[in-house]
Structure 1
Amino acid sequence: MNQEVTTEHQPLKGGALALGALGLATANFLAILDTTVANVSVSNIAGGLGTSTSQGTYVITSYAVAEAISVPLTGWLSARFGAIRVFVTCLIAFGIFSALCGLSSSMMMLVTFRVFLGLCGGPLMPLSQTLMIRVFPKDKAHAAIGLWSMTTLIAPIMGPILGGTLCDQFSWPYIFYFNLPFAVTAGLVCWGLLQRFENKTIKTPIDKVGLLLLIVWVGALQIMLDEGKDHDWFASTQIVVLAVIAAIGFLSFLIWELTEKNPVINLKIFRHRGYTASMMTLALGFGSFFGTTVLTPLWLQIYMGYTATIAGYATATMGILAVFLAPVIANLANKYDPRWFVCGGLLWLGCWTLIRSFNTLDMSFGQISLQMFWQGIGMPLFFVPLTALALSSVARHEIDSAAGLMNFIRSLAGAFATSMVNTSWEDTSRYVHAELAGLTDRSHQVLAAMLNHGVNLSHIRSTLEHMLQSQSVMIATNQIFMEIAALFALSAMIIWIAPRVKTSAS
């Protein structure tokens, strides 16, 4: 990313600081909220627009991919037009495109507006982070990171409960209408309070080739992941072509960005071992977490009979403790080695995901939500110190680039996790169903007994099929949770590649 030229200003104080921080936090919250707000509403949206649930997941992935692509442009946009102008413009445009999403009358229209929504939401995440640090007093920098991290953690967890409630109480368009008043209000507040923190603009060229290559390889890979399950993967020429385009595009992107004077993504920042280890941990850890937040509400709604609202309530319990723990952990990570917090948080998430891999169909709402409540402790333990560790591992003038790249990786990890979890869930369910079908009532004793009791043959078959399908999905869900638990454990080990950083207690 291009570097910004800034003029030092006195940080905000008192009420102005509180209001400015609230506006910045709101922007980050809304941008991340929309990555999961449609998770529990996919079936409602698909039904309302006359498409399949599988196609409905494009509502999630289209936003995530567009968001990931626009994040790297943040540095150039800020340097060219000013960070505050870009931030406020994107925030207000975010509200407008949200309303347009709600007004969509077809899946194609909705996905198109979701792409524009993601393009506007992408810059909000890194800019809210860097501006938060800029407006806070230096001795309260850890509080800024804690506040930003808290909204980053709470937003994807609150998405399902908000989406479910609005969808059930009103209708699916309201999950998008919700953003408009908050985005516009926060944009006007930030414009009024933060104008004096505007950076000097520099006319720098944009890396058009790098941006094109980024769009090509990310887009091809995401389409391949979305469409693979419907085209029998590499048995399809279309999937093979997409895989080749993604591979060549990625390699070309790496070569170009490492040699370009003004790259769209500053890959040289990976020379810092601490930052590289943090990003590897983030990709695996956040991708695993996001995979569980996508899979859980789908399982609860489709096979446990939960409404979108109740599924959202069950999922949202994960964020209750995170609200209170995030600022505390931000302070502690500033004093002690953050690697211990990151490792402990990921192992905690992995342990509870492993426990969830033994779930059954007769579990109550209380049992499911209690598991997620305790699992939520791991998120602030993992994410808050990881953010601080990543940004402290780079040179001061590289912080903006580091923050942007971090958000890019997080968004991309979420998008890929959504596609891979959905694909794995469907494929594993079909495989388990086929295995169980060959083992069920092989002697036909159950069939004979039910026929003797006067049960209709078609009713018997539908009952057995429902039981088979429910058990198949339960086994597949547990198997995926077990695999995700292993990924959490692996990511916990990767963080130790990072060197020890100097803390205030050192």
Structure 2
Amino acid sequence: MKPWLPGLARTTSKESQYASRYIIALTVTLASVLELLDTSIVNVAIPHMMGTLGATLDEIAWVSTGYVVANVIVLPISGWLSVQFGRRNYFAFSIIVFIISSVACGNATSLGGLVFWRIVQGLGGGGLLSTAQSTLSEVFPPQEMGSAFAIFGLGIMVGPMLGPTVGGYLTENYSWPWIFYINVPLGALALLLSLQFVPDSRHGKKAESVDYIGLLLLAIGVGALQTLLERGERLEWLESNEVITYIVASILGLSAFIIRQLEIEHPIVDVRVVKDKQFAAGMIFGFILGAALYSTVFVFPVYVQTLMGFNAWQTGMAILPSAIASGIMMMMSSKLLQRGVKPTRIIFTGVVIFLFSMWQHQHFTTLSGADDFFWPLVLRGIGLGLIFVPLSSVAMANIPLHETPNATGIYNLCRQLGGSVGIAVSATLLSSLQNANRSSLLVHTALNDPATQERLQALQQHFASLSPSEGVAKARALATLSNQISKQAAMLSYEQLFFGFGLVMLLVLPLLTVMKKTRAGNISSDAH
């Protein structure tokens, strides 16, 4: 394919194969940001969609669920698809599908139409993440691999964080269709740049046959698992037959898929890469990293919006310093890798800082404000930023370049599923902890308790000054006390969750003992 910009010819010599690497990095990162942005951008617009489309909360939830399920189905096979159709063609086609479906989502006039186009949008977006990472692994020289992952990692961190902010701004100032229309100009820019600069892989080899049965089993297994995670808490888990159906379908589908991929000659996902201990350890660590990132991004906004009264824009502004800190630390961690600092030491430092940040989160109260959030959130960004780049480097260290697209698909799937598990567990624990904490507080606030009676009398006197009816004043006093108990129970629950996130990250530190080889060293040896 000839370049569409005059005077810019592709070069294939060994000396010039890295010439456009930073433009390529920005191109694939932009596409990845759009894909991740759309995982969370719709959340703040859900009430508006319900009103326009006449849908219930349970029905409108499929707008989010359909997108994420389609995403995870495509993620593990994106490497295979990029080899079959050519990386540039597949990447560009994914962007085109994403743009067209975004326009269709904005123009949707029915719930069914919106959910359908969100699924199509998810299928297009799912191919962007893994293709982007495998592209960077090939177009950057070994000594700059850290910088490549830092640029890509910034998009991974910023995308989910900016979603609620951008969605809230567009919905409040324009209308909910604009959360989809915003993808058109940015997607068009990514498309033009990808057609010009993104190269085809030099290492991929097309399969001689297509495993359609494997594709079906993967769609059933991963799709059921993701749907289970998205809807489980809402359906009260094992209390629902629908959830049990998802569990059975997921177990059977994934088990049959793995067995088939190990037996056939041309698998669509080569699961044998998991035999590498370092890659397997990186997958587990990446799963926990995804859980930590998406869980904190999910829980903190819920905390400040329900207890502190923040709107979407204020929440986004509170989170923004954390995203900036992540980006800065990713670049710094890549420089440290280039200077020979062991990636495991950088990861360890990141985990310790993240744990300290979660300890600070544990001290948030119902009276905390933006100033109280600043440094704990910045430290959270620093910790996660220090982990991402070296973890990607060591996870892929033993993977040959021709297996990189396949491995990055599996690695990104683990991180995505980690995020889904983290959000599902957080939502369930938040509800359970609130009930438990409220029950505990009620034990200490019995109506015959002197301190409780004193508080009720003060509230009743206050409301008596506003209403001549003694019965009304007493009822309002009891309701106020009940609300205060619920608010304190919720605050205790958030504190427990925040610290739990840090402890979970701490528990996977022993995996660092398996991670010894660096990505740069592996590529260098390959090159020779």
Same topology, TM > 0.5: yes
Give the Å deviation of 1:37.
2.8
- Aligned mate of 2:494, from 463, 473, 477: 477
- Aligned mate of 2:277, from 273, 280, 303: 273
104-113 or 265-274, larger mean C-alpha shift: 104-113
52-61 or 138-147, larger mean C-alpha shift: 52-61
Residues 491 and 101 of structure 1: CA distance in aligned 2, closer, same or farther (over 3 Å)? farther
Paired residues for 1:421-460 under 5 Å: 421-443=426-448, 445=453, 446-452=455-461, 454=464, 456=472, 457-460=474-477
Which residue pairs with 1:492 in the alignment? 509
* Aligned equivalents of 1:23, 1:285: Cα separation in 2: 24
TM-score, structure 1 as length reference: 0.89
* Aligned equivalents of 1:33, 1:364: Cα separation in 2: 26
- Aligned mate of 1:368, from 356, 366, 373: 373
Q: Is 1:223 aligned to residue 227 of structure 2? A: yes
Larger RCO (CA within 8 A; separation ≥ 6): 1
Which string of whole-angstrom CA distances, capped at 9 and with x for unpartnered residues, describes residues 104-148 of structure 1?
345544333222211111111121222233334555333323322
Which residue pairs with 2:102 in the alignment? 98
Which string of whole-angstrom CA distances, capped at 9 and with x for unpartnered residues, describes residues 13-47 of structure 1?
66x54433322221122122223333554555556
Give the Å deviation of 1:66.
1.6
Q: For residue 176 of structure 2, give the secondary structure of its aligned residue in structure 1.
A: coil
Residues 225 and 32 of structure 1: CA distance in aligned 2, closer, same or farther (over 3 Å)? closer
Write the letter of the residue equivalent to 2:312: A
Residues 137 and 488 of structure 1: CA distance in aligned 2, closer, same or farther (over 3 Å)? closer
* Aligned equivalents of 1:106, 1:472: Cα separation in 2: 39
Please, which runs of 5 or more residues in structure 2 have no aligned partner? 1-10
- Aligned mate of 1:163, from 167, 189, 192: 167
- Partners of 2:68 and 2:226 within 8 A in 1: no
50-59 or 493-502, larger mean C-alpha shift: 50-59
- Partners of 2:98 and 2:125 within 8 A in 1: yes
Q: For residue 392 of structure 1, give the secondary structure of its aligned residue in structure 2.
A: coil
Which string of whole-angstrom CA distances, capped at 9 and with x for unpartnered residues, describes residues 53-95 of structure 1?
6765544443233211101221232222111111001112212
Q: For residue 377 of structure 1, give the secondary structure of its aligned residue in structure 2.
A: helix
Give the Å deviation of 1:207.
2.3
Give the Å deviation of 1:430.
3.1
- Partners of 1:341 and 1:381 within 8 A in 2: yes
Q: What's the % identity of the aligned pairs?
A: 26
Q: Is 1:85 aligned to residue 102 of structure 2? A: no
- Aligned mate of 2:399, from 386, 394, 399: 394
Q: For residue 309 of structure 2, give the secondary structure of its aligned residue in structure 1.
A: coil
Which residue pairs with 1:65 in the alignment? 69
* Aligned equivalents of 1:98, 1:187: Cα separation in 2: 14
- Partners of 1:36 and 1:159 within 8 A in 2: yes
Report the number of matched residues.
498
Paired residues for 1:231-380 under 5 Å: 231-334=235-338, 335-380=340-385
451-460 or 383-392, larger mean C-alpha shift: 451-460
Q: For residue 323 of structure 1, give the secondary structure of its aligned residue in structure 2.
A: helix
- Partners of 2:226 and 2:417 within 8 A in 1: no
Paired residues for 1:44-193 under 5 Å: 45-46=49-50, 49=53, 58-137=62-141, 139-193=143-197
Give the Å deviation of 1:385.
0.5
Q: For residue 396 of structure 2, give the secondary structure of its aligned residue in structure 1.
A: helix
- Partners of 1:46 and 1:56 within 8 A in 2: yes
- Partners of 2:285 and 2:508 within 8 A in 1: yes
- Aligned mate of 2:480, from 463, 472, 493: 463
- Aligned mate of 2:409, from 391, 404, 422: 404
Give the Å deviation of 1:377.
0.5
Give the Å deviation of 1:339.
1.3
TM-score, structure 2 as length reference: 0.86
Give the Å deviation of 1:429.
2.1
Which residue pairs with 2:3 in the alignment? none
Please, which runs of 5 or more residues in structure 1 have no aligned partner? 1-6
* Aligned equivalents of 1:367, 1:45: Cα separation in 2: 34
Residues 159 and 233 of structure 1: CA distance in aligned 2, closer, same or farther (over 3 Å)? closer
- Partners of 2:145 and 2:520 within 8 A in 1: no
Give the Å deviation of 1:295.
1.4
- Partners of 1:84 and 1:195 within 8 A in 2: yes
* Aligned equivalents of 1:492, 1:42: Cα separation in 2: 38
* Aligned equivalents of 1:363, 1:392: Cα separation in 2: 43
443-452 or 379-388, larger mean C-alpha shift: 443-452
Residues 22 and 390 of structure 1: CA distance in aligned 2, closer, same or farther (over 3 Å)? same
- Partners of 1:285 and 1:491 within 8 A in 2: no
Give the Å deviation of 1:194.
3.6
* Aligned equivalents of 1:61, 1:160: Cα separation in 2: 16
Residues 274 and 169 of structure 1: CA distance in aligned 2, closer, same or farther (over 3 Å)? same
Write the letter of the residue equivalent to 1:204: E
Residues 418 and 38 of structure 1: CA distance in aligned 2, closer, same or farther (over 3 Å)? farther
Return the index of the structure with the highest Cα Rg. Answer: 2
Residues 285 and 12 of structure 1: CA distance in aligned 2, closer, same or farther (over 3 Å)? same
46-55 or 241-250, larger mean C-alpha shift: 46-55
396-405 or 51-60, larger mean C-alpha shift: 51-60
459-468 or 372-381, larger mean C-alpha shift: 459-468
* Aligned equivalents of 1:265, 1:423: Cα separation in 2: 32
Residues 54 and 236 of structure 1: CA distance in aligned 2, closer, same or farther (over 3 Å)? closer
Residues 115 and 427 of structure 1: CA distance in aligned 2, closer, same or farther (over 3 Å)? farther
* Aligned equivalents of 1:462, 1:265: Cα separation in 2: 57
Write the letter of the residue equivalent to 1:31: E
Which string of whole-angstrom CA distances, capped at 9 and with x for unpartnered residues, describes residues 347-373 of structure 1?
321221122122111001121233111
Give the Å deviation of 1:503.
6.3
Residues 297 and 105 of structure 1: CA distance in aligned 2, closer, same or farther (over 3 Å)? farther
Give the Å deviation of 1:319.
1.1
Which residue pairs with 2:34 in the alignment? 30
The two structures, once aligned, show a CA RMSD in angstroms of: 2.8
127-136 or 284-293, larger mean C-alpha shift: 127-136
Residues 151 and 231 of structure 1: CA distance in aligned 2, closer, same or farther (over 3 Å)? closer
